[in-house]
Amino acid sequence: MRNRNFVRFLLVTVVAAVLACAPAMAAQAPHAMVVSESAQATQAGLEILKKGGNAVDAAAAVALALGVTNAGSCGLGGGGFMLIYMARQGQFFALDFRETAPKAATADMYIRNGHPNERLAVVGPLAVGVPGQVAGIRDALKRFGTMTFQQVAAPAIKLARDGFPITSLLAGEIAHNRNYIAAEPEFAKVFLRPDGSAPPADTVIRQPELARTLERLGNRPAENFYHGEIAREIASYIKSQGGIITTDDLSDYRAVWREPLHRAFQGNEVYVMPPPSSGGVLLEMLGMLEPGHLPGLGLNSPPYLARLAEVMRQGFIDRALYADPAFVHVPLQVLLSPKHIDEARRRALHHNTLAPRIAPAHDHGTSNFCVVDKDGNVVALTTTINTAFGAKMMVPKLGVVLNDEMDDFAVAPNVPNVYRLQGAKANEIAPGKRPLSSMTPIIVVSHGRPIMTTGGSGGPTILTGVLQVTLNILDFHLGPEQAVTTPRIHEQASPDIIFAEAAIPEPTRRALSEMGYKLKVVPHLGAVNAITIEAGNLHGAFDPRKGGGVAGY
């Protein structure tokens, strides 16, 4: 009953967000643009751009501000992926600052009395992976930025110190996690009212400890976060709660520059993050759909949605082969080869397996944003602490909410995680390993120039949401606003069910059922934002399912 009530609450808040934000959910600008899941974070990025910063500087500012305004989704205690296009070089760069498993982590660390206890990977100290956010921002600024860390952190520091009105989304996340937050006095002091109740939307909250932490990072953020006093405070707190992250884990953390993956689609070139991201799965799905003449089927018609569902299923089956490439060989040359994609397409078109109904997990513990600057540089960044408020822990005196990224590993073979994804051998836990992720920021190029960028949040629905928004723009020629608001479906092979948004018309859903599919109707599926890019004409939109902000000049 509690879960059902929370779903109703989410539906109400989503409808309210649509009504409140619809007039401003899209924008056009001639020079530069930022779109994110927070109006204040978007303004932080725009402020940096107007002060002469480039897309990487602005992305750093947005990421830090999101850690304040969307503290249930991301922050200094998490990690993510950054896909970068630098116009002067005409090149793409992929920065992996995904969290890692502690050195003391083992493949069987969640086995209790001979049985896997997946809950230990979701809540509490053993759920925490070594954070990568600060290292990622530092490395991006060091290589491509034009501003110092304190310059780009200034908007986030101001938001944390002076306060901001919380959105209905954050209010809902606080309410749903109130018991966890109330269990820690410092956590409760920030996010709950003095009587211990959850604050309503538009309540102004302040995070003075987080503001001080951002200031303490100075202009040597990685050195100050992963070494010295801050690192000792993080490790000491985690140890006091029964966790295994040490100062050595923190001091040894490194972000990794990787080679982006790319593949042709409809005369364009689609660039994505490589493993441990699931970007390759998105390329495979697009490959299966490329010769399908999708516009002829009709957007969101029953035949179109059926084809999407089959392709999604095949993509998620192959996703089990993805993992941290430092530990597992991911056969990308095979998975993205024309032969394999043709075989996967044939399997997709002849599938009729049915499965029982299972409810999907609702995820808000991730944020995505996109930035385009006046020089044509583009950044698509997805950052996360995994589920809402991560491990449900905040480091006292630092204001840092810790991730529960260990749940993205395979807790045990064939044991589903919180998103109902089955654990695979390739993704089992190992010291220093990065868990497989659904985060998939992308940039699409035509004739050597970016024409769109998009990304999303929402656990495994990131993959399918980004897929559908990309198709909406490239195949159906929708603008970003229509592309992100069009109702979506999701299929992830296990459970073998089509999750369909309630906004999909009932006759369409009935037709899919009559075709033999099992459907589960849900209020919404993740959140995706997008920017289309033309010379002198940038057009961006955020997703009203989660809210946000879009602005440019």
366 included as an active-site residue: yes
User: With 80 as the cut, is the pLDDT of residue 271 above it?
Assistant: yes
Distance between CA atoms of 11 and 6, rounded to whole angstroms? 9
Q: Give the model's confidence band at 411: pLDDT under 50 very low, under 70 low, under 90 confident, else very high.
A: confident
Range in 97-111, 306-320, 354-368, 536-550 with the lowest mean pLDDT? 354-368
Q: What is the DSSP string of 288-313?
A: HHGGG-HHHH-TT-HHHHHHHHHHHH
Helix (DSSP H) and strand (DSSP E) numbers for the chain: 20, 23
Alpha-carbon Rg for the chain in angstroms:
21
Quick: pLDDT tens for 152-173: 999 999 999 999 999 999 999 9
The structure tokens 């109740």 sit at: 197
Residues 6+ apart with CB under 8 A from 59: 45, 82, 140, 369, 371, 379, 381
Distance between CA atoms of 118 and 45, rounded to whole angstroms? 38
Task: Point out the catalytic residue in the list 100, 213, 366, 384.
Answer: 366
Q: Give the model's confidence band at 14: pLDDT under 50 very low, under 70 low, under 90 confident, else very high.
A: very low
pLDDT at 410: 87
Distance between CA atoms of 31 and 499, rounded to whole angstroms? 38
Q: Give the model's confidence band at 413: pLDDT under 50 very low, under 70 low, under 90 confident, else very high.
A: low
Domain extents in the chain:
2-18+40-257+370-406, 261-362+440-552
User: With 60 as the cut, is the pLDDT of residue 420 above it?
Assistant: no
Q: Give the model's confidence band at 348: pLDDT under 50 very low, under 70 low, under 90 confident, else very high.
A: confident
pLDDT at 15: 37
- Give mean pLDDT, residues 29-48: 98
Mode of pairing for the β-strands spanning 33-36 and 549-552: antiparallel
User: With 50 as the cut, is the pLDDT of residue 12 above it?
Assistant: no
Q: Which token pair is 263?
A: 């593949």
Residues 6+ apart with CB under 8 A from 139: 95, 97, 222, 255, 257
- Give mean pLDDT, residues 357-371: 64
Quick: pLDDT tens for 93-110: 999 999 999 999 999 999
Distance between CA atoms of 221 and 243, rounded to whole angstroms? 24
User: With 50 as the cut, is the pLDDT of residue 289 above it?
Assistant: yes
- Give mean pLDDT, residues 412-426: 63
Question: For residues 465 and 288, is the Cβ–Cβ distance under 8 A?
Answer: no
Distance between CA atoms of 68 and 339, rounded to whole angstroms? 46
Mode of pairing for the β-strands spanning 91-97 and 537-541: unpaired
Please name the helix (run of DSSP H) or strand (run of DSSP E) that holds residue 383, with its range, or none: strand 378-384
Distance between CA atoms of 24 and 163, rounded to whole angstroms? 23
Closest CA to 99 of 116, 115, 121: 121
Q: Give the model's confidence band at 20: pLDDT under 50 very low, under 70 low, under 90 confident, else very high.
A: very low
Q: Give the model's confidence band at 458: pLDDT under 50 very low, under 70 low, under 90 confident, else very high.
A: very high
Q: Give the model's confidence band at 279: pLDDT under 50 very low, under 70 low, under 90 confident, else very high.
A: very high
Work out the burial of residue 194: count CB atoms within 10 Å of its CB; fewer than 13 is exposed, 13-18 middle, 19 or more buried.
exposed
Question: If DSSP codes are grouped into helix, strand and coil, which group holds residue 96?
Answer: strand
The domain defined by 261-362+440-552 carries CATH number 3.30.460.10? no
**pTM, rounded to two decimals:** 0.92
Quick: pLDDT tens for 377-393: 999 999 999 999 999 99
Distances (CA, A) of 476 to 451, 469, 486: 15, 10, 11
Residues 6+ apart with CB under 8 A from 64: 44, 137, 152, 153, 155, 156, 214
